[in-house]
């Protein structure tokens, strides 16, 4: 069964990959279009099956085969072949040999370009075609298609056939020139010049992706505009696949490899004339050999632009799509929603280096001493209700709230260096001689170090070489070095030398207190004057959500306790943790760092219980704060009305009028004993600030274990019990 499925997938997707998609509908449409000419259709199918067969027996990566990565060049090659050559005795061996060559070149280009993070596009097709054409193209035993030789004869003959009339039935319609040119350009991808084919293809693209559809229009319009502006012949668009260069380039750079936004659309517009230049130059060079350039311009411009986008010091304006979902919408929505979750891949997770509430008295680029190379540092101090850092008159160090408070490590590591020979200053004195005062440098490994300075003399509780965790007390806050009043100086650096250049690095998570409200911050750097604290993690919740790989979650519906739903927890090759439901073939990827549990991605059946779990546990703070609401949002395509989504897709690169919002709150009746804790979460689709759809969840955690999950969907409550 799996084999049949794999065969169908790999075949159909080989067709749909031409439009950068793995959607079966568009694949089938293309498949049918190739059968306008039976010979072309059969040859193309043979080519696809053969190259996928080769890829399979020679052990190529299965998911590449299944996604049609090997097949789409074969589709193009087979069509180019059958367009030009007649079937005869020698055609077949040459065809198979060229597919073998194509396969070898595909593997070669895939290897060469993928190493650099680039796609191989249609290069294997182009090179195979050129080699075959140059070597055998003029050999006598190869026969050209009659239609290429007896052009007029053939056309008049063809016009009599029923198929021809059907395919071209819309050509006579009085459409604006630009519209019919658009459809014809689309159809020219498959060596046709038919409005109907173009229309069907464009509907297919629209069905698979609204964004890709928009980009084809932009790409085509740009080409049309530039050709007119440059005074070139518009016929160039429908000859020898040349017009398709614009369509492909538009999909690739406007939405497929680069995150779609108005900038990527603009890029498409301004890259169109460059494609024109490449087209003309290519024609001139290749004409010498009587070669056709087909999709060369598209491939070169795309690679050129991708290399440009990748190799910049600052990755601004254009953002490459990191994980390819073969859907610009999905990629865009998921990238927007996952932006924060992806930061979980940061090498080190730093927390506030002290207990309780502290104020950032000097933040990054602070005006006092956080200047130049030392800009990315944080100063912590304690203030009272009146924002004063001291009690009484503030004449003695002991008057300052920060003084003598425990200072902790911010992440695990080894104590690398200790300075403990600087006396604490009296208030008002500043020791510029020993700038950093008493200091501890911690090696967090992976080349990251943290420095904590101005410590109290002789308060250091660790030794060089000690392994410490984020809860280890290092020393007490003091007033040594360039410190006019007691505070903690904290910085991250890439060198173990005291006072190295600082590195901007966010704190993993912290609680922010502002205007009597508390909020959770993740992967952010606190700003000056923020009052912040560590998260007071609840052991109960933290243990319950510590889902370990190679274990199972078993749930039963409260009303049907005999049937168990089993989910498996595992890790993939990138060490991403996921929960898989075999029955529905759905997967949820999750992060867990002890303080926050988040399900950051979902693939599969949105009607499954696992999808509800994904919705319910999108971001859960594993600590009990009564008034703290954790907010987040889902990729728009999840939990959205499909009608609304259709329109949202079109404008997604520019903005959102609909959002799937998430809110959760954890509250316990008891935080130090293993007691019951309740997590309430909800997801709501908000369109034009109107709530269209809502679902509420309640998860109960007891004795360090998940206890139950209740789903309230339109007043219908389902309760599942965890085994």
Q: Which is nearer to other proteins, 405 or 618 (CB)?
A: 405
In the complex, least distance from residue 702 CB atom to other proteins, rounded to whole angstroms = 13
Cβ atoms of residues 696 and 706 within 8 Å: no
The residue within the footprint of other proteins, chosen from 384, 552, 558, 723 (CB under 8 A), is: 384
Choices 138-146, 168-176, 241-249, 465-473 (CB under 8 A): range interacting with other proteins: 465-473
| Residue closest to 136 by CA, chosen among 180, 81, 177 | 81
Q: Checking DSSP bridges between strand 449-455 and strand 438-443, what pairing results, if any? A: antiparallel
Backbone angles phi, psi at 659, to 5 degrees: -145, 145
Alpha-carbon dihedral 82, 85, 91, 95, rounded to 10 degrees:
-40
Q: How many residues bind other proteins (CB under 8 A)?
A: 26
Q: Does 444 bind other proteins (CB under 8 A)?
A: no
Q: Does 497 bind other proteins (CB under 8 A)?
A: no
In the complex, least distance from residue 669 CB atom to other proteins, rounded to whole angstroms = 6
Backbone angles phi, psi at 620, to 5 degrees: -120, 125
Cβ atoms of residues 291 and 133 within 8 Å: yes
Beta bridge partners of 598: 591
In the complex, least distance from residue 476 CB atom to other proteins, rounded to whole angstroms = 9
Q: Does 469 bind other proteins (CB under 8 A)?
A: yes
Q: Checking DSSP bridges between strand 560-571 and strand 377-381, what pairing results, if any? A: unpaired
Q: Does 74 bind other proteins (CB under 8 A)?
A: no
Question: What does the alpha-carbon distance between residue 74 and residue 48 come to, in Å, rounded to a whole number?
Answer: 6
In the complex, least distance from residue 378 CB atom to other proteins, rounded to whole angstroms = 17
Q: Does 703 bind other proteins (CB under 8 A)?
A: no
Identify the three-state secondary structure at position 654: coil
Token code pair at residue 382: 């304690």
Beta bridge partners of 571: 577
Q: Does 1 bind other proteins (CB under 8 A)?
A: no
* Cβ atoms < 10 Å from Cβ of 576: 15
Choices 118-126, 253-261, 379-387, 564-572 (CB under 8 A): range interacting with other proteins: 379-387
Cβ atoms of residues 622 and 701 within 8 Å: no
Q: Exposure of 541 by Cβ count < 10 A (0-12 exposed, 13-18 middle, 19+ buried)?
A: buried
The residue within the footprint of other proteins, chosen from 675, 680, 695, 702 (CB under 8 A), is: 675
| Residue closest to 435 by CA, chosen among 489, 381, 390 | 489
The residue within the footprint of other proteins, chosen from 404, 593, 603, 698 (CB under 8 A), is: 404
Q: Which is nearer to other proteins, 472 or 570 (CB)?
A: 472
The residue within the footprint of other proteins, chosen from 184, 405, 487, 580 (CB under 8 A), is: 405
Backbone angles phi, psi at 597, to 5 degrees: -115, 130
Cβ atoms of residues 262 and 653 within 8 Å: yes
What DSSP character marks residue 91? H
- Please list every residue from 503 through 562 that binds other proteins, using CB under 8 A: 533-534, 536
HEC string for 124-157 = HHHHHHHHHHHHHCCCCCCCECHHHHCHHHHHHH
In the complex, least distance from residue 382 CB atom to other proteins, rounded to whole angstroms = 6
Q: Does 593 bind other proteins (CB under 8 A)?
A: no
The residue within the footprint of other proteins, chosen from 146, 158, 373, 471 (CB under 8 A), is: 471
Q: Which is nearer to other proteins, 496 or 594 (CB)?
A: 594
Q: Which is nearer to other proteins, 64 or 593 (CB)?
A: 593
Q: Does 385 bind other proteins (CB under 8 A)?
A: yes
Q: Does 391 bind other proteins (CB under 8 A)?
A: yes
Q: Does 670 bind other proteins (CB under 8 A)?
A: yes
Q: Does 625 bind other proteins (CB under 8 A)?
A: no
The residue within the footprint of other proteins, chosen from 325, 355, 374, 416 (CB under 8 A), is: 355
The residue within the footprint of other proteins, chosen from 132, 258, 382, 418 (CB under 8 A), is: 382
Strand residue runs (E) in 261-330 = none
Q: Does 702 bind other proteins (CB under 8 A)?
A: no
Q: Checking DSSP bridges between strand 473-476 and strand 488-493, what pairing results, if any? A: unpaired
DSSP conformation letters of 561-581: EEEEEEEEEEE-TT--EEEEE
The residue within the footprint of other proteins, chosen from 180, 193, 369, 472 (CB under 8 A), is: 472
Q: Which is nearer to other proteins, 669 or 713 (CB)?
A: 669
For 523-634, where are the alpha helices, taking DSSP H only? 539-544, 609-616
In the complex, least distance from residue 530 CB atom to other proteins, rounded to whole angstroms = 16
Q: Which is nearer to other proteins, 406 or 484 (CB)?
A: 406
Identify the three-state secondary structure at position 84: helix
Q: Helix 24-34 vs helix 2-16: angle between axes, to the nearest 10 degrees?
A: 70
| Residue closest to 663 by CA, chosen among 620, 624, 712, 607 | 620
Choices 25-33, 64-72, 324-332, 470-478 (CB under 8 A): range interacting with other proteins: 470-478
The residue within the footprint of other proteins, chosen from 673, 703, 705, 717 (CB under 8 A), is: 673
In the complex, least distance from residue 474 CB atom to other proteins, rounded to whole angstroms = 11
The residue within the footprint of other proteins, chosen from 46, 434, 473, 495 (CB under 8 A), is: 473
The residue within the footprint of other proteins, chosen from 148, 239, 285, 356 (CB under 8 A), is: 356
In the complex, least distance from residue 485 CB atom to other proteins, rounded to whole angstroms = 16
Q: Does 358 bind other proteins (CB under 8 A)?
A: yes
Cβ atoms of residues 408 and 400 within 8 Å: no
Q: Which residue has the tokens 């501890």?
A: 440
Cβ atoms of residues 513 and 533 within 8 Å: yes
In the complex, least distance from residue 535 CB atom to other proteins, rounded to whole angstroms = 11
Stated as kind and residue range, the H or E segment containing 214 is helix 210-230
Cβ atoms of residues 318 and 309 within 8 Å: yes
Q: Which is nearer to other proteins, 476 or 502 (CB)?
A: 476
Q: Does 158 bind other proteins (CB under 8 A)?
A: no
Cβ neighbours for 485, distance < 8 A, ≥ 6 positions apart: 381, 389, 390, 394, 397, 400, 402, 427, 479
Q: Which is nearer to other proteins, 6 or 704 (CB)?
A: 704
Q: Which is nearer to other proteins, 58 or 673 (CB)?
A: 673
Q: Give me the residues that bind other proteins (CB under 8 A), please.
A: 354-358, 382, 384-385, 391, 401, 404-406, 461, 469, 471-473, 533-534, 536, 669-670, 672-673, 675
């Amino acid at each position: 069964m799996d084999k049949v499925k794999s065969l169908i997938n790999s075949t159909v997707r080989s067709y749909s990959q031409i439009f950068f998609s793995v959607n079966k509908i568009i694949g089938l449409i293309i498949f049918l279009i190739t059968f306008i000419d039976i010979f072309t259709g059969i040859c193309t199918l043979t080519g696809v099956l053969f190259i996928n067969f080769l890829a399979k027996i020679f052990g190529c990566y299965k998911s590449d085969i299944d996604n049609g990565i090997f097949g789409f060049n074969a589709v193009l090659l087979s069509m180019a072949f059958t367009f030009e050559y007649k079937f005869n005795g020698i055609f077949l061996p040459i065809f198979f040999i060229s597919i073998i060559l194509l396969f070898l070149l595909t593997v070669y280009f895939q290897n060469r370009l993928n190493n650099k993070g680039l796609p191989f596009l249609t290069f294997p097709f182009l090179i195979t075609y050129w080699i075959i054409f140059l070597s055998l193209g003029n050999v006598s035993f190869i026969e050209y298609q009659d239609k290429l030789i007896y052009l007029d004869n053939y056309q008049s003959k063809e016009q009599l056939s029923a198929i021809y009339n059907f395919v071209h039935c819309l050509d006579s319609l009085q459409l604006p020139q630009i519209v019919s040119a658009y459809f014809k350009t689309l159809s020219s991808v498959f060596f046709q010049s038919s409005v109907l084919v173009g229309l069907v293809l464009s509907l297919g693209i629209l069905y698979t992706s609204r964004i890709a559809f928009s980009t084809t229009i932009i790409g085509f319009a740009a080409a049309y505009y530039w050709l007119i502006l440059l005074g070139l012949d518009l016929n160039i668009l429908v000859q020898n696949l040349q017009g398709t260069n614009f369509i492909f380039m538009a999909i690739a750079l406007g939405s497929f490899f680069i995150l779609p936004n108005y900038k990527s659309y603009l890029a498409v517009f301004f890259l169109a004339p460059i494609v024109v230049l490449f087209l003309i130059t290519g024609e001139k060079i290749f004409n010498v050999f009587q070669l056709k350039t087909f999709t060369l311009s598209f491939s070169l411009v795309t690679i050129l632009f991708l290399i440009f986008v990748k190799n910049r010091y600052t990755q601004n304006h254009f953002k490459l799509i990191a994980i390819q979902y073969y859907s610009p919408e999905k990629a865009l929505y998921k990238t927007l929603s996952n932006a924060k979750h992806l930061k979980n891949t940061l090498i080190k997770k730093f927390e506030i280096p002290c207990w309780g509430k502290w104020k950032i008295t000097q933040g990054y680029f602070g005006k006092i001493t956080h200047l130049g190379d030392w800009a990315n540092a944080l100063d912590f101090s304690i203030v009272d209700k009146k924002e004063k850092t001291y009690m009484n008159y503030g004449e003695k160090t002991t008057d300052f709230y920060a003084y003598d408070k425990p200072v902790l490590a911010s992440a695990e590591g080894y104590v690398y260096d200790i300075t403990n020979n600087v006396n604490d200053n009296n208030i008002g004195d500043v020791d510029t001689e020993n700038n950093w005062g008493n200091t501890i440098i911690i090696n967090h490994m992976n080349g990251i170090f943290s420095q904590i300075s101005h410590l109290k003399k002789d308060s250091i509780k660790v030794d060089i070489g000690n392994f410490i965790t984020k809860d280890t007390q290092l020393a007490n806050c003091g007033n040594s070095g360039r410190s006019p009043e007691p505070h903690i100086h904290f910085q991250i650096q890439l060198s173990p030398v005291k006072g190295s250049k600082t590195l901007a690095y966010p704190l993993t998570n912290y609680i922010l207190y502002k205007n009597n409200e508390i909020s959770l911050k993740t992967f952010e750097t606190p700003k000056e004057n923020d009052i912040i604290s560590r998260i007071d993690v609840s052991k109960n919740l933290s243990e319950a959500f510590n889902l370990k790989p190679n274990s199972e979650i078993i749930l039963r519906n409260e009303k049907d306790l005999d049937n168990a739903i089993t989910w498996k927890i595992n890790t993939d090759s990138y060490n991403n943790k996921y929960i898989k439901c075999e029955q529905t073939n759905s997967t949820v990827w999750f992060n867990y760092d002890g303080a926050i549990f988040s399900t950051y991605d979902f693939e599969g059946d949105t009607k499954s219980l696992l999808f509800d779990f994904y919705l319910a546990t999108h971001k859960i703070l594993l600590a009990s704060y009564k008034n703290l609401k954790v907010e987040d949002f889902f990729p728009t395509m999840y939990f959205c009305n499909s009608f609304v989504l259709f329109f949202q897709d079109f404008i997604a690169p520019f903005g959102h009028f609909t959002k799937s919002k998430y809110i959760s709150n954890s509250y316990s009746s008891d935080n130090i004993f293993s007691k019951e804790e309740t997590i309430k979460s909800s997801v709501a689709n908000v369109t034009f600030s109107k709530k269209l759809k809502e679902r509420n969840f309640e998860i109960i955690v007891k004795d360090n274990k998940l206890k139950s999950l209740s789903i309230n969907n339109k007043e219908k409550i389902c309760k599942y019990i965890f085994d």
